Chains A and B, each alone.
Chain A
Amino acid sequence: MLTTTRKALHSIWMKLNSNKNRIKTRDGSQLKGEPSPKKGQFTFGLRTVPKIKTTGYRLIWLVACSFLLVFILSNCNVKKGVYIQKLENKYYRLMVNGKPYIVKGVCYNPIPIGSNHEYDWWSDPNKPWIVDGKLMKQMGINTIRLYQTHEDSNEVKQVIRDLYNLYGIRTLLGDWLGFWEYPCPFYGDKKFQDKVKKQVLEMVNLYKDEPGLLGWILGNENNYSCLGQVNPWSTPEVDLEPDPQKQKKMRAQIYYSFINDISKAVHKIDPDHPVGLGNGELIGLDSANQFCQDVDFVACIIYRGKTFGNLFRSLRMTFDKPILLAEFGADCYDAYLKKEDQNMQAFFLEQQWNQIYENLGDKKNGEGNCLGGTIFEWADEWWKHTQDSPDSWKEHDTGAGWSSGSYYFDIRAEKNMNMNEEWFGIVALSPELENGINKRIPRKAYYVLREFWKKPVIKKARNNKAK
C-alpha cells in the first residue's frame, strides 16, 4: 500500500517538476523571456503549474494523493507526546503530538451536596464525570486538573479514559507532596522526602501511558510553608540561623531542591509529559530559579481579581519558565448585597481569560509565556465553609472565608470578608437529582467563556483602567 502511494506521489512530483519553463525566481518575478501564467495555469509555491485537464478517476486519484501527501508530510516529523516548545523569540507554547495546545481547563472535584472532601467520587456508580465531561466539551473545555489521584488506580484510569475517549478532554494529575500531613510537611527530612518522592513516582508509573494524560503538577501552594505562613516546618540547621530572612531562604533552597530532584526522576520515567511546579503566587521563585531548573513550567495559584497585573513579565524576570494559571477565578456571591451575582463572576473570569490569551506564545504583544489556565472551579462545593459541621454540607453557605480587595464589587461586606468558598463553580449544583447526581446548572460565566473561546477577541485594557 505504502509503495503504491509513493509511486503515485512520485509521478505527480515529476509532473510538477517537468514544467521547468515556468519556474519563477525567488522574488516572484518570472525568468526573462518566460511567459506569465495564462488561463489554465496556476501558481504552486514559486512555480507556475498548468492546470491538469482531467476528469473522473484521474482527478479523484490526484486529489486523494495530494491529501495523503500533506498528511504524510505533516506527520513524518511530528514529535509525539506532550512537551513545551521554546520559540525563537523566547516565547513558549505547549505542544501535544506536534500541535499547539492552549489549556482551557477547570479544577475538578465533583463533591455532591451533603458530602465533604472525603467523598469517594471516583467510585460513584453514577459517574459524574460523564455528565460533566459532556457539558465541559460543549463549553470548550479541553483539560481538567485533579489535585491528587485516588488509591484505586483502575478508577483513576477509568476517569481519565472516559473523559478523553468520550470528549477529548485531557487530565493534569497532581500530588499534594505531603503538604497536609500532621504536624507539618518536613521537607528537610530525608525520610519524609523519600516517602513523598516514592508516592509521586508511583503515580507517574501508573498513569504515564494514559493517552488522556496532559502532565504532572507537583504541589499546590506548598511554597508558603517555606515562609512559615502555612504548615510551617524547619530543620535543626535552619533553627540555628538567627536571621529570619536567611531562614526563609534556607527553607526555600531545601524545598525547591527537593522538587527539582523529583522532577528529574519523573522525567527519567516519563519523558513524554511536562512537569509543573505548583506555586502560590510568584513567591519563592527567585530560589526556584537557582535550585529548580528541571521543572518544565510553573503552575501558579493566583487570585488577583480582574487583572494578573505584572505576573507574566515578573515571572520572566525571576524564573523564565512558562506559566499555567493552575488555580484562579472568582466567586459568584455578592457578600455585600448578600445575593448571588453571576455577572460579577463572569466579568472577572472574562477579564482573566483575556489576559491569559494576551500572553500566549502566539501573541505578539504579551510576554508569550502563558500556556493557559485551569479555572477554580468546575462546580460549587457545599461543604467548604463550615467543614466540621456535616449538617451544613447540605446548605449552600453564604459565609465568606477570606478577604480580597481585588474582588472589589463586594469588598464593603462586613469586615471586608467577600470571598465565598462555596460559590466558585462555573456550574451550580441543584439538590434535584438528574442521572443520579445533583443537577448541573451552568452559570453565566460558562456561556461567556464558551463564546470567548469560540472567538477570542483580546481587548487590550490597561491594568488599572476601570471596567
Chain B
Amino acid sequence: MKKLIMVMLALSLFVPAFAATEEKAAGPKEFMVYLDKNAKDNHFIPSGWMGDYGDIKMNDQAADKPHAGTSSIQFIYSAKKAQNQGWAGIYWQNPSNNWGNKKGGFDLTGMTKVTFWARGAKGGEILQKVMVGGIKGTYPDTVSVEMGPIELTADWKQYTINLVGKDLSYVNGGFGWTVTADLNPEGCTFYIDDIKYEADPDLKPESKKQEDMPFYIYADRSTAKNHFIPSGWMGDYGDIKYDGSSKEDAYLGDTCIKIIYSGQGTQGARWAGIFWQNPANNWGNVDAGFDLSKTIKLTFWARGAKGGERIEEFKVGGIMGEFSDSDSATIGPVILNKEWTQYTIDLKGKDMSYIIGGFAWSTNVDNNPEGATFYLDEIKFE
C-alpha cells in the first residue's frame, strides 16, 4: 500500500510537468504572412516585385468582398511586358526587399502548410505558380516549394501548400506568386487574402499522385493545362527565338509554338535546344516534376517553315542532377515536313514515375547552316 501511495505521489508530480513540456513543445499553431492591411500579425512584406514589375498594380486595402476582415489585396496584371520579360510576380519578404542579402526571415519549424485564399475578378485567371521560400543569396531560404498553375474561380477558394518534411528553419520568402503573359494574354485581376502558415499535426507528406492522361506539355498559350515551362535553353541559346503564342496556322486551338534557330553560333556551341522543365530552370536541382507512370507515349505535331529542317533529337526526360528524371527516350534525327506531321516517342516499358524534363528538342548548325524555323503544337503525354 505504501508503495502505491509513493507511486501516485510521484506521478502527481510528474504529470503536470510533462503536460507543461508538451504544451511548450507544441508552439504556435499559426503564423501570419498577411491578414489585413496594417494587421499587427503580418510578418512578411509584399516587396519582392519581379519580372515585368511595371505590369503589376497592387491595392492592399481592397474592400471589395474580402474573404475575411476588412480588406484583401487586389493585383492587376496588365501583361504589357513593361520590362520585356513576359512574366511578373511578387514575393512577401522579411525584411522588405530582402533578396537573401540580409539576415532576416523566421524559423518556422513545426509548421506543416501554407494556406491562402484567392479569387479572380472574373474566374479563369491563371497563376503560373505560387511559392514558399526559394530566395537564394548569401542567406538563402532553407525551403523551396512551388505549386501551380492555378486557375482561379470567381469565388473565394482556399489553397494549401503542403510543407510536411520540409526544412523551415529559415524562411525569408514567406510566400509568392507569378503570372505570365502567355497564360493571361489580356492581363488579369485577382485577389489574395489570409495567407498563413499552419501547424497541422495530422497532415501527411505530399506524395506524388499519378497524373491522368492526356497530360499536356503544350496545348495552347493561355491554358493551365501546360505543365512544363520552356525554360531550359541550351547550347547557343542566343540563336533561339521562342514564341509560345504564334498564330501562324496553329494545328489545333488558337496558337502554336514558333521557334527560330538562327544557327549563328552565338555562344560558340554550334548547337542549340530547349528543355521544357518543371519548375522553370530545374536542371535536377529541385525535387519536383510529375509522376507520369500512366503514359505510354508522347505525341506532338511539328512542321518546318519550308520543309527539310533537320531536328537532331526530340526527347523526353533525361535531365540528370541531384533529382534526376527516372528515364529518358528520344527520336531523331527528324527531317520536318512543310505540313503538320504527328510524331510519337514510345514510352512503353519506361519508368516515367519522376519527370522534370517533359520535352526537349535540339538541332545544330552543321545540319541547318542557314538556321531553321519550325513549329510545334499539341505536345502531350498519352
Give B330's nearest chain A residue, CB to CB. Answer: A283
User: Can you add 20 more A-B contacts, CB < 8 Å, to A314-B327, A408-B322?
Assistant: A244-B310, A244-B332, A245-B334, A248-B333, A304-B320, A305-B321, A309-B327, A310-B326, A313-B349, A314-B351, A317-B349, A318-B349, A405-B283, A406-B284, A408-B284, A411-B321, A463-B326, A463-B353, A464-B324, A466-B323
Inter-chain contact A464/B354, CB cutoff 8 Å: yes
Task: Give the residue of A306, A314, A408 whose beta carbon is less than 8 angstroms from that of B350.
Answer: A314
Q: Does B164 contact A (CB under 8 A)?
A: no
Q: Does B287 contact A (CB under 8 A)?
A: yes
Interface centre among B283, B320, B325, B349 (most CB of A within 10 A): B320
Q: Does A243 contact B (CB under 8 A)?
A: yes
Instruction: Tell me the minimal C-beta distance from B170 to chain A in angstroms.
Output: 18
Inter-chain contact A309/B324, CB cutoff 8 Å: yes
Bound CA span A404–B283, Å = 11
Q: Does B285 contact A (CB under 8 A)?
A: yes
Would you give 12 A-B contacts (Cβ < 8 Å), ordered by A? A244-B333, A245-B333, A245-B334, A305-B321, A305-B324, A309-B324, A309-B327, A310-B326, A406-B320, A408-B322, A464-B324, A466-B287
Interface positions of A (Cβ within 8 A of B): 242-245, 248, 304-307, 309-310, 313-314, 317-318, 404-406, 408, 411, 463-464, 466-467
Task: Give the residue of B287, B327, B331 whose beta carbon is less than 8 angstroms from that of A245.
Answer: B331
Bound CA span A314–B321, Å = 19
Bound CA span A406–B328, Å = 14
Give A467's nearest chain B residue, CB to CB. Answer: B322
Interface residues on B, range: 20 to 34
Residues of A within 8 A of B284 (CB): 405-406, 408
Residues of A within 8 A of B331 (CB): 245
Which 5 pairs between the two chains have the least Cβ-Cβ distance?
A406-B320, A317-B349, A244-B333, A310-B351, A405-B321
Residues of A within 8 A of B285 (CB): 408
**Known A243-B335, A245-B333, A245-B334: A314·B320 in contact at CB below 8 Å:** no
Interface positions of B (Cβ within 8 A of A): 283-285, 287, 310, 319-327, 331-335, 349-351, 353-354
Bound CA span A405–B351, Å = 20
**Known A244-B335, A405-B284: A464·B327 in contact at CB below 8 Å:** no
**Known A408-B285, A464-B354: A309·B333 in contact at CB below 8 Å:** no
Bound CA span A310–B283, Å = 18
Inter-chain contact A404/B322, CB cutoff 8 Å: no
Interface centre among B332, B334, B351 (most CB of A within 10 A): B351
Inter-chain contact A245/B320, CB cutoff 8 Å: no
Residues of A within 8 A of B321 (CB): 305, 405-406, 408, 411
Residues of B within 8 A of A404 (CB): 320
Inter-chain contact A405/B349, CB cutoff 8 Å: no
Bound CA span A307–B351, Å = 14
Inter-chain contact A309/B349, CB cutoff 8 Å: no
Task: Give the residue of A242, A245, A248, A406 whose beta carbon is less than 8 angstroms from that of B324.
Answer: A406
Instruction: Tell me the minimal C-beta distance from B308 to chain A in angstroms.
Output: 11
Bound CA span A305–B283, Å = 14
**Known A309-B327, A405-B321: A464·B351 in contact at CB below 8 Å:** no
Give A283's nearest chain B residue, CB to CB. Answer: B330
Residues of B within 8 A of A408 (CB): 284-285, 321-322
Bound CA span A404–B320, Å = 7
Bound CA span A317–B351, Å = 11
Instruction: Tell me the minimal C-beta distance from B307 to chain A in angstroms.
Output: 13
Give A310's nearest chain B residue, CB to CB. Answer: B351
Bound CA span A404–B349, Å = 25
Bound CA span A350–B319, Å = 22
Inter-chain contact A310/B327, CB cutoff 8 Å: yes
Residues of A within 8 A of B332 (CB): 244-245
Residues of B within 8 A of A242 (CB): 335
Give A242's nearest chain B residue, CB to CB. Answer: B335
Residues of B within 8 A of A411 (CB): 283, 321
Instruction: Tell me the minimal C-beta distance from B335 to chain A in angstroms.
Output: 7
Instruction: Tell me the minimal C-beta distance from B136 to chain A in angstroms.
Output: 12
